[in-house]
Chains A and B, each alone.
Chain A
């Protein structure tokens, strides 16, 4: 825990303070949480998900399985952030996960000491009797990774949309070469890299490119890219891509930084996302201090952190020796290099022999044909047991505090598999590459299985040039850079060290989900032999790590246990997101008010300020009732409805759909769309019309006004306005094109106020003034008059949805509030949807409960209209025999048999309380103040006569009500009030 400044390629000179598990530590600007903690001597960083084994840092990127930290202070926390991905900020608060009460002394590890009970799929076989629910809470609290934040106040990310010619995913050597080639060729390039600094492994590999230091080349290339106008997104991870859309995400592991989600639409996507190092399984290979070789190299080069003082290196390729050289030069003692390849392989390679000789001279024990069979230590590794592969039981112990493992690299196939594609086995890297990509994506570099730097850079350049060419960028991409770095690794596949059967349950394959070799053996014995089933049964490859280090390793061990070849076993398909994203990022700004459009009528503010209770109906905010009229919707609705019949009232009908239809062929056109004829409507009059869907069902009803010989206004129900417009446009443009018909959606151009009740005519005349009283007096039912009022257009239509004498006022939005206020001041109180529904129900008028889309005109009692009707849309399919079936329900009214009982909407109607087949159901019901009892509209089989007694059954609430079939018009059957 020294406070001396370290030096590294990513480090700055400022000291930063942070807190981990309640203790204060010091780091430097540019540090990650992982490097700062390791530099401070903290090696225990987490506990495993299932067995709660102590774990430390294993990897250097998002593939880190165990060092997952929770950032922030409750309730605003972000869980499960891999420590190597968390760039340190001053004052950051970090917490380890999965432990209680503390990381060092974790009691839950005692509970799970019985490894046998908690093997793969244990929850299918245990904790069932007497009821699994008893154990559920306990298991849920013990399982999983970090805790979820408790607050809803998570900052909303920015969403940025970009288009470009070539998107290069990955800013390592292949990615930079590809971006350069494409940019030089003249393409519009975006380069996306998940680390905050570009260059990939060039910062520790000590390579040269075109004769200069790799880091110089990176800097010069980035400057050149900027000069070409390329956009470089650093610290931004690609989370998925398909169908021409790639989503990338920057969420600097905490809340202080603002997340941004990029939605990128490239014409070509070059995937240069590299290859991920994988471990080898041996006994206790999960101890803190057992790390991937590349992770230790990165810690050293980027952050100046020596992950240990005395190291053993274990692996199956040449880079072991090059890495050892670098460690020795940095002062880390390398006790041994354990190479799994046999002496014969090594003898054939003289360059390697020279490297080995140099290491041996430096005092490093270079073993061949050997493996590390076990790690020792509990909270920290303190030694390794090695043995020759030929004689695995002759083990000897080497003291060390750092055990670096490398089994090779698996190309990052995830991003290449989000849209089809196959996994092809690449023997040279003993891993899978993504193949069979759709044309707009291509993989390059290590992501394609190429591991030697010179070849990687050349391949990247070629891919970039090809992508640019495909976008039509024709300038010269330049010569491919020549890079010299670490040698070709010459890898020989090696997956797990030899072990006795009893030891296999401590050979870890997936460190995040605690999947061991014993689990894989068990799952095969249980019959789950397909890799996708194995993944789901053992959880191999799940979690934040998503199989980055464990998928190929797991598949290879499964292949060994099954006795099959690895290409045949395959790896499980991966899906977006490639990196975990918070739900807040996925939702973006589509939350709360911005999730759905809200539409308000011009009278909205008036309703809100006059105690109107507003509810959303579809996208509209509508008044259900006014609080001054009653304590709840039912009471207020009854009072408002009573008042309208007694005296009068006004209701806001502005949400009504309105479509103007004009042109020479307008009348003939409407004739073909509606069941009843529009061409017979006289100018100045209107008609109640219904139209049909193509299959003969009633689609919508409304009033059509004829404004002029060639101009009509068709009204639709509020819910159907959009659909009806599209329906009208379809017939005009597709089925009957060539007619002269213009359509305009004027729903929002006209506010509608309905004035209803006995005093409506007089009050309206008085409010409108001038010669309006005479005009209104002259209107008969379904007439309308149009003239200016207060300088703006006004139409007064005499039509009724309440059965009272009523007028529908169509005015300009600017007139709505003055007109409404004048009417209210003249003694007409407002009423809402609740009362509107009672009034229309009393008269048997239809709303969406009856116009369900599965009712025909015949079902609704409109046989006369059908007989007179037009050859219109849907007419042909109306003549189907099933529509005349006596069992087919038709519209009737219902009354309670005792004149008092409640009739429940939706109740099923049967002949008696024991019958199981319903004859129909109740479509709408309400208490009617005009009639003094509950009334309903229902659909009942045609064979049931008026006056028949039925039972209305509500099985959910357990009620049976005796009802009597009645006419659908419950009040004022002769429509006297409307015609008065």
Chain B
């Protein structure tokens, strides 16, 4: 997966983005939210940020085995 589609800026090279972390399971307590993650071969829920672009935080859902991106959501207050 060499490109990511930023909802604000469009399809951009992967180098413009920074992967932050995968999301904890919904309903995790503080400890689990920091230390525990569930690994899925086909469905990964991730936070990325378009650091060399609009600096938007993005929720990305993708298949880590094939690199296929299912969903990219712009997070934060204002919508484009």
Contacts and interface: CB of A to CB of B under 8 A. Distances in A.
Q: Do A and B come from one complex?
A: yes
B80 interface: no
A79 B3 CA distance: 36
A273 to B, nearest CB: 22
B1 A733 contact: no
A695 interface: yes
A737 B76 contact: yes
Nearest to B49: A726
Nearest to B14: A243
A733 B8 CA distance: 15
A421 interface: no
Nearest to A243: B2
A265 B2 contact: yes
B1 A730 contact: no
Given A243-B1, A243-B67, A244-B3, A729 B34 contact: no
B77 interface: yes
B41 interface: no
Contacts of A738: 77
Contacts of B49: 726, 729-730
A909 to B, nearest CB: 30
A733 B31 contact: no
B18 interface: yes
A730 B47 contact: yes
A730 B2 contact: no
A737 B34 contact: no
B34 A695 contact: yes
B33 interface: yes
- Which of A265, A438, A734, A738 counts the most chain B CB atoms within 10 A? A734
B30 A733 contact: no
Nearest to B56: A733
A734 B1 contact: no
Contacts of B31: 877
Nearest to B35: A695
A730 B57 contact: yes
Contact of A244 (B1, B34, B47, B55): B1
B2 A694 contact: no
Interface in A709-760: 722, 726, 729-730, 732-734, 737-739
Given A243-B1, A265-B2, A876-B30, A734 B67 contact: no
A245 B35 CA distance: 35
Contacts of B67: 243
A15 to B, nearest CB: 47
A737 B3 contact: no
Given A726-B20, A726-B49, A732 B76 contact: yes
Given A694-B33, A876-B30, A877-B34, A733 B3 contact: no
Contact of B47 (A438, A694, A734): A734
A734 B21 CA distance: 12
B75 interface: yes
Interface string B23-52: 000000011011100000000000101010
Contacts of A733: 56-57, 75-77
Contacts of B57: 729-730, 733-734
Contacts of B20: 726, 730
A880 to B, nearest CB: 9
A734 B76 contact: yes
A235 B18 CA distance: 37
A739 B18 CA distance: 24
A312 B77 CA distance: 79
B2 A244 contact: yes
Nearest to A880: B31
A729 B30 contact: no
Contacts of B51: 722, 726
A422 to B, nearest CB: 16
Contacts of B2: 243-245, 265
- Which of A695, A730, A733, A739 counts the most chain B CB atoms within 10 A? A733
Contacts of B30: 694, 876-877
Contacts of A730: 20, 47, 49, 57
B12 to A, nearest CB: 12
A966 B78 CA distance: 53
20 contacts: A245-B2, A265-B2, A265-B3, A694-B34, A695-B34, A695-B35, A722-B51, A726-B20, A726-B51, A730-B20, A732-B77, A733-B56, A734-B47, A734-B57, A734-B75, A734-B76, A737-B77, A739-B77, A877-B30, A877-B31
Which 10 pairs from chain A and chain B are nearest by CB? A733-B76, A876-B30, A733-B57, A245-B2, A733-B75, A694-B34, A243-B2, A244-B2, A695-B34, A734-B75
Interface of B: 1-3, 18, 20, 30-31, 33-35, 47, 49, 51, 55-57, 66-67, 75-77
Given A243-B67, A265-B3, A694-B33, 7 more contacts: A694-B30, A726-B20, A729-B57, A732-B76, A734-B75, A738-B77, A877-B31
